[in-house]
């Protein structure tokens, strides 16, 4: 879209939103969603001008703009051909609507009784999620639009890259405050596969040393450290092992009556038969061992013999909405750089991506590349727990863990090798 087409679209949108109520939630939600999409569609010259906007003058203009909107005046498009002027005008309008929605029609981020329908835009289908806390003003100057365009809300798109975005609310009111994540891996992991008629492969069985004791220690240490989340790698947790994990969690939280259970656990993944065929399916549990959600890998991987996973592709990207974070979920190759297409995760405004994975150093390098891109564009961090099976591992290597680094572009994959079965990552 060239500059003229975009400004024409902006003026048309301005006219459509002229009747927006200044104090009602749904009209403000619609206005914020549509203005945000307009910003995301802006030509490069317009969007790049956002990084030159300083917070102090922006805040002053926003305060004045809010008064105009309350009086029913939604005009904001400038009489100018300058990209910087247009970006400032749009930035002010978005921030003003963002503030008005938060102050005149608030919803409690931490209260699951304020359901997703309260936050959903009826026109765009976007979920307008209130932030649990404001971004620190000292860190805003010079940042691009997707990192600071809205301070009070984040806008989850309905779909990215042809995949639906599925928001999942997680009720943590009984779980207590927790911080940090745990990576759980296995020693001497042996993954057995079978070849399908198409010449591809499906996982058939998995085993590793001291199954019961390893799982018990991993869960126990995670609870002792007050971890919010625990992640096991891809293709390491079959249904029988998952059932053991659920039983252990139930024993600790129900039988032993532990006061505060873990918030969530990603119990690896496994090739499971569905009504569409085999899927590489991951399971998300709560701290009581109950299934919160299951989701499927989108992009099949190749093994060392060049065979593809014989799986049907997943159709959506799940996003966990907790009291403090938005957490995007992916499985291994989904969160890898690919020459043929842009990663859909670049368009998701979440705090954290959690990725169970399996592979070697080159796989982790691909994860690092995507982690660097999403960090630069939206500020999201990435937590990847990657197992290496016995055909590729060494005595000093169980796998790799990407521990939410703030600057993944400066991290070497070989520095992420781990030899411990359980690792605590501070939040």
Can you tell me the distance from the alpha carbon of 69 to that of 65, in angstroms, rounded to the nearest whole number?
Answer: 6
Q: Assess contact for 76 and 14: CB atoms under 8 A.
A: yes
Show Cβ contacts of residue 230 under 8 Å, excluding neighbours closer than 6 positions. Answer: 181, 182, 184, 218, 219, 222, 262, 264, 265, 266
Residues 53 and 200 in one domain: no
Residue 174 lies in a domain: no
Higher pLDDT, 241 or 406: 241
Residues 194 and 90 in one domain: no
Residue 42 lies in a domain: yes
What is the average per-residue pLDDT within 246-271? Answer: 85
Higher pLDDT, 177 or 33: 33
Comparing CA positions, the residue from 265, 303, 263, 304 lying closest to residue 282 is: 265
Which residue range forms the structural domain that includes residue 72? Answer: 3-156
| pLDDT tens-digit readout, 374-394 | 999 899 999 999 999 866 655
Q: Assess contact for 344 and 368: CB atoms under 8 A.
A: no
- Per-residue confidence (pLDDT) for residue 135, from 0 to 100: 67
Structure tokens at 305: 């013999």
Residues 116 and 194 in one domain: no
Q: Is the pLDDT of residue 206 over 80?
A: yes
- Per-residue confidence (pLDDT) for residue 20, from 0 to 100: 73
Residue 168 lies in a domain: no
Residues 251 and 378 in one domain: yes
Show Cβ contacts of residue 204 under 8 Å, excluding neighbours closer than 6 positions. Answer: 192, 193, 194
With residues binned 3-state (H G I as helix, E B as strand, rest as coil), the percentages for the chain, rounded to 5, are: 35, 25, 40
Please, what is the Cα angle at 420 between 416 and 421, to 5 degrees? 115
Residues 74 and 12 in one domain: yes
Residues 148 and 204 in one domain: no
Residues 318 and 420 in one domain: yes
Count: domains in the chain: 2
Residues 285 and 343 in one domain: yes
| pLDDT tens-digit readout, 79-88 | 999 999 999 9
- What pTM value is reported for the model? 0.92
Can you tell me the distance from the alpha carbon of 250 to that of 291, in angstroms, rounded to the nearest whole number?
Answer: 12
Confidence grade of residue 297 (pLDDT, cut at 50, 70, 90): very high
In the chain, % of residues over pLDDT 90:
71
Instruction: Look at the block and give the residue holding tokens 């199954």.
Output: 211
- Per-residue confidence (pLDDT) for residue 259, from 0 to 100: 61
Can you tell me the distance from the alpha carbon of 62 to that of 93, in angstroms, rounded to the nearest whole number?
Answer: 7
Comparing CA positions, the residue from 151, 145, 139 lying closest to residue 52 is: 145
Residue 396 lies in a domain: yes
Q: What is the mean pLDDT of the chain?
A: 90
116's enclosing H/E stretch is: helix 116-119
């Amino acid at each position: 879209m060239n500059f003229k087409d975009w400004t024409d679209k902006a003026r048309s949108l301005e006219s459509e939103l002229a009747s927006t109520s200044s104090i009602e939630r749904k009209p403000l939600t619609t206005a914020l969603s549509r203005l945000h999409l307009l910003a995301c569609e802006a030509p490069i010259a317009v969007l790049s001008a956002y990084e030159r906007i300083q917070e102090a003058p922006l805040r002053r203009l926003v305060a004045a703009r809010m008064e105009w909107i309350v009086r029913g005046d939604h005009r904001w498009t400038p009489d100018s051909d300058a990209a910087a002027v247009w970006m400032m005008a749009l930035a002010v309008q978005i921030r003003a609507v963002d503030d008005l929605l938060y102050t005149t029609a608030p919803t409690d981020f931490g209260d699951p009784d304020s359901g997703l329908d309260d936050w959903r835009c009826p026109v765009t289908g976007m979920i307008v999620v209130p932030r649990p806390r404001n971004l620190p003003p000292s860190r805003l100057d010079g940042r691009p639009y997707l990192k600071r365009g809205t301070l009070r809300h984040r806008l989850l798109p309905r779909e990215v890259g042809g995949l639906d975005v599925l928001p999942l609310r997680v009720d943590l009111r009984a779980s207590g405050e927790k911080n940090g994540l745990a990576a759980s891996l296995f020693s001497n992991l042996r993954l057995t596969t079978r070849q399908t008629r198409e010449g591809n492969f499906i996982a058939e069985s998995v085993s590793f040393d001291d199954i019961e004791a390893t799982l018990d220690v991993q869960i126990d240490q995670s609870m002792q450290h007050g971890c919010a989340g625990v992640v096991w790698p891809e293709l390491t947790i079959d249904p029988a092992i998952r059932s053991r994990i659920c039983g252990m969690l139930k024993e600790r939280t129900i039988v032993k009556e532990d006061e505060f259970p873990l918030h969530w656990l990603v119990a690896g993944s496994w090739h499971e038969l569905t009504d569409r065929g085999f899927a590489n399916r991951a399971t998300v549990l709560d701290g009581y061992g109950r299934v919160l959600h299951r989701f499927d890998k989108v992009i099949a991987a190749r093994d060392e013999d060049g065979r593809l996973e014989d799986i049907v592709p997943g159709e959506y990207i799940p996003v966990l909405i907790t009291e403090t974070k938005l957490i995007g979920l992916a499985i291994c190759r989904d969160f890898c750089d690919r020459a043929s297409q842009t990663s859909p995760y670049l368009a998701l405004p979440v705090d954290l991506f959690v990725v169970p994975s399996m592979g070697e150093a080159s796989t982790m390098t691909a994860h690092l590349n995507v982690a660097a891109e999403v960090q630069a564009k939206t500020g999201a961090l990435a937590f990847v727990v990657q197992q290496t099976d016995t055909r590729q591992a060494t005595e000093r290597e169980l796998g790799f863990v990407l521990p939410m680094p703030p600057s993944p572009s400066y991290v070497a994959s070989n520095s992420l090798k781990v030899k411990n079965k359980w690792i605590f990552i501070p939040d």
